[in-house]
Structure 1
């Protein structure tokens, strides 16, 4: 069964209970969010409604139904000042409306349903929807040169890997009668800057006859945004591999495969 707006609308918590009753799921995985990071700086109420209040209601409803809930969260709960990849035990210190709303959503899920799993991820790319890889290909089709920030780092993560990881975690739940711990990180293998990611995307595209452009590195100060981006978004995913037997793929390999698919589709 596929359910979307207006029947299921995270901005309207009253729509959640009827859908859960009709679908009767064994588990709820909430991967939805308001992810317009800059936009949210001007509409914090909407951000908290979708990213915090809706997960709180889902946690309450799933607890009443006696089923687990999985909440997908973000690297933006951190301030980006660490000199190493963030572990689950590191304290959160969000610097944006998006990060704060997602952290409140995490806390609401933990408080609302003891049978929960919170999975933080970062820099998700996919053949679907809007994301960095598709943006770079689109810009390269229209420009000869593209400036990209080179002093912000993270783990590019393929959406397919994230989905497979969540399914791996869901598969462990029945035998464990719960999740080994309530909070995990799951992101792609390897560290990259936005500049390195963009360069890799366009090099892979050029090899396949797709759009290409010269990528020029700039600093975050040269490319100001309304919402502050973390300088370091790296996440340590060792605990997820330990407990669920799954690790996301190397970002370079995943991005090359993604670009191949996108170029072939164009």
Structure 2
């Protein structure tokens, strides 16, 4: 099977490379932003045609959440219009598609874990462009699998876990938001879930949710990192109002994973177990 992965240098792309490249059953192509410039939408289908993949795992995205507020056209081109081109290519050429979306499609006003059919209402530009992306994918290629995830971290790339370790090493005291609630996602776990779906007997298109099990705030996450790493730093819980950013964040975006577990029998580890595993690898 020919598998093409976009966003090859990102956290999830790197984890997918670790799993897929060592498996002789797959002929893999990992494309970065130079090899597949998603902002140049007119040439995307031509580039994909050079590889003729049986399956595309579309991981690449414009993910600078705050910067997107001042670059809405670029964010839309990469997250929405490029996704449309990829979905059209897959439909025209009989390729399968797995695409990654985000918990930021929600407004954050829920107080129960969000299912795939919960109402969407993004409160920032990034969330809006990702929502338009997932909608256009399922419009053009309904058999696609779109997976919403949240709070992604990995041994690769820049992320919250690495930032917290650096800050707690440099400072005696830091402040972390305690009123945004969800669950982190170890990119290695999500990569394995994607591979399990590919190798499974059933392919069922549609929307799915995946993050690690559990419900925590960013503050809880930081405290766990400190404990596991044995760092000596005071962490102060603060409300979102004390840390204003250009883009609003949903207050509550815990994802309900029932559908992906039920449909594909994938495993969803507890967030703390995965954090320990990542920190040991780091």
Q: What is the count of residue pairs matched by the alignment?
A: 254
Inter-partner Cα distance in structure 1 for 2:163 and 2:252: 21
**What is the aligned partner in structure 2 of residue 49 from structure 1?**
77
**What is the aligned partner in structure 1 of residue 217 from structure 2?**
193
CA displacement 1:60-88 (0-9 Å, x = unmatched): 01111111211100000000100101001
CA RMSD of aligned residues (A): 1.3
SS at match of 2:248: coil
**What is the aligned partner in structure 2 of residue 11 from structure 1?**
39
Determine if the alignment matches structure 1 residue 69 to structure 2 residue 97.
Answer: yes
Inter-partner Cα distance in structure 2 for 1:136 and 1:55: 32
Inter-partner Cα distance in structure 1 for 2:232 and 2:67: 29
SS at match of 1:120: strand
Cα deviation for residue 212 of structure 1 reads: 4.1
Identify the match of residue 111 of structure 2 among 83, 93, 113: 83
Identify the match of residue 115 of structure 1 among 139, 143, 151: 143
TM-score, normalised relative to structure 2: 0.87
Inter-partner Cα distance in structure 1 for 2:190 and 2:123: 24
Identify the match of residue 127 of structure 2 among 99, 120, 128: 99
**What is the aligned partner in structure 2 of residue 256 from structure 1?**
276
Identify the match of residue 182 of structure 1 among 185, 203, 206: 206
CA displacement 1:108-144 (0-9 Å, x = unmatched): 1011112211110011110001111011011112111
SS at match of 1:37: coil
**What is the aligned partner in structure 2 of residue 221 from structure 1?**
241
Inter-partner Cα distance in structure 1 for 2:132 and 2:124: 12
Inter-partner Cα distance in structure 1 for 2:156 and 2:128: 26
**What is the aligned partner in structure 2 of residue 140 from structure 1?**
168
SS at match of 1:118: strand
**What is the aligned partner in structure 2 of residue 236 from structure 1?**
256
Inter-partner Cα distance in structure 2 for 1:2 and 1:184: 24
**Which consecutive aligned stretches of 4+ in structure 1 deviate over 3 angstroms post-superposition?**
none
Cα deviation for residue 14 of structure 1 reads: 3.3
CA displacement 1:162-209 (0-9 Å, x = unmatched): 11111122223xx43x41x41110110001100000010111111xxx
Structure 2 residue runs of 5 or longer lacking an equivalent are 1-28
Inter-partner Cα distance in structure 1 for 2:77 and 2:232: 40
Distance 1:7 1:144, change over 3 A: same
TM-score, normalised relative to structure 1: 0.92
CA displacement 1:17-62 (0-9 Å, x = unmatched): 2332222211111111111111111110111011001100000011
Inter-partner Cα distance in structure 1 for 2:33 and 2:106: 31
CA displacement 1:150-169 (0-9 Å, x = unmatched): 11100111001111111122
Cα deviation for residue 258 of structure 1 reads: 1.4
Inter-partner Cα distance in structure 1 for 2:80 and 2:129: 6
